[in-house]
Structure 1
Amino acid sequence: MTRIVDTRVEPELALELATETLARGEPVAIPTETVYGLAADATNPEAVGRIYEMKGRPRFNPLICHMADLAMAERHAIFDPLSRRLAEAVWPGPLTLVLPVRPDSSIHPLARAGLDTVGIRVPTGFASRLLAAYGRPLAAPSANTSGRISPTAAAHVAADLGGKLELVLDGGAAGIGLESTILKVEDGEIRMLRPGGLDIADAERIAGQKVLRPETAGAAIEAPGMLASHYAPRAGVRLMAKDVRPGEALIRFGGKPLPGEEQAAIVLDLSPSGNLREAAANLFGYMQKADASGATAIAFAPVPMDGLGEAINDRLQRAAAPRE
């Protein structure tokens, strides 16, 4: 039976149970500022293998390894000056850097999908405290069945993976609600592998140079979130909707009603005021609600591409992609 412990009410108990469970090689669902993660000891191949098994995740899809701080990260990865500048400015926060792994790093190759690079992030909040107490990096993809909607609340995790997990830590709703932005520095250039909770404009301001967008067609899998079909609800997805068909769920933006929405199974607005940060925080939670409504499909009204809208639209495109 899955135990759920509220980190805001019983932080010491949560810390004790989580470190004990992780030490036995069992994954633990943890809250982060982006989404909830399915965390396990990144140095333990059996523990990492359990992440892949619980999620049904392809083993060629690498995992992000979470660190307590920059000092821990430096023990496992080689930082170039540009990556270091980004890390120092953003961490702890919603940025993952893909870096060359140190030859003496204890991160198991399974967590890296056999690559000579490793994706590293330093989270905020209780996750940071847990990492400091445990003392080793935690591989922690989103705590959901692979390809499905990412969880932004403990209830989402329990509904999806509850039967497989011993422990879920409840830290309340995720503040950002989108996975981290993933960047990789090569030959002095910064490539975006996945848009996310860090606005690319902010990364460019910190770095003092442009971030190159990826050529996604046929791109090698270098980081999580690069699969064409991902973040998908069970219902079908229709993007750029200008109206609503009978029985569909509607997720709109900016307080703008759409023709036919009175026939919708449910109507949700990512941000009635048109705030993209609010929209990002609500995206996965509203997708969960729409999927649970029994709708035949989910219609999404257009969302602007500027700022965090780039990451929102990336998730929507992948949610709508043909499924294998």
Structure 2
Amino acid sequence: MGAIDVQSNRPIPAIQQIKLFSPSDWEEFIEEWATSLGSRYGFHTVERCAGAGDMGRDVVAYKADPMQDPSWINFQGKHYNAPLTPSEVYIELGKLCYYTYTGEYTVPELYYFAAPQGVGTKLSQLIKNPDSLRQALLQNWDDKCRDKITTTQSVHLDGDFKAYVENFDFDIFRSLSAVKVVEEHSQTRWHAARFQTGLPPRGPNLEPPAAIDPSLEARYVRQLLDAYGQCLGSACSDVESLPTASPTHANHLQRSREQFYSAESLRNFSRDTLPEGEYERLQDEIHEGVLDTAEDAYPHGFQRVIATIQFARQLQLTSHPLIHRMQSSDRAGICHQLANEDRLTWVI
């Protein structure tokens, strides 16, 4: 559940919550959103330039490796209680002109103002008219920029630098729609955690392929075959011979593969809907919960598999955000994932 309006007892929409963010939280939110655009718009790297030394850059998106191609896009976060006005952005324009003039960084392809309240009418009109925006900056330079760009010197608008500003491309400036940013952010893995909303429905599980995928399944399947062999008193060398040697264990292997792919589906769901590391945290919780059971004494490895998975199904995991999207097969599947990484061993 997200933030609650105490008078109506209804969740506060994300578009309203962003207006309550701190400036730092707003920049983090823009970084999350810009990072999610990577696959759609071909961004190679997204960086947040936080702190006093950002030189007028907040969230930077590079289209390629910045060591090879310096082309970039800037998303400038401005968190105020009202729509942005020209007087609030002149300093940002001044920093961009000054630091590109001195060669600290290149001119971005595009420069977006990102504000939860949007831009006001006057600033919007200036952004749409680059020549007017340039003239407004020139007229307000001494008041808004000259003594505010650096703490070490005044930046006078004269000589070569004035000519540089007069010829600067002011057509690169844009404003972001807060509604669009929130809508696109809602499709990212950060949205549920940031706004404390419920997770979306989980899609269908992956189906195990007919043949074992050696790049994905080799280790946990080998561990199961070893456990079956110890139970039967003779080695199980491969999957193909298992139905003849023991139909019961062959059926167990098929169920185990379905459980493994169920857990892989949950891993993918977590990747798409939650911050990085949440699924690994779930694996760690289950590993910690079943380890004593897995390391207990058993007559054979197959009994260890059965006991460990039975205990995993009983674990209390009420604090994890994935708990309401887990299926009964996921806990067993996570045990197989842990065996696949040799964090659980069936034959000791």
Q: Per the shorter chain, which TM-score range?
A: under 0.3
Over alpha carbons, which structure has the higher Rg?
A: 2
Q: TM-score, normalised by structure 1?
A: 0.23
Q: Which has the higher contact order (CA 8 A, sep 6+)?
A: 1
Q: TM-score, normalised by structure 2?
A: 0.22
Question: Which structure features the higher share of helix residues?
Answer: 2
Question: Which structure features the higher share of strand residues?
Answer: 1
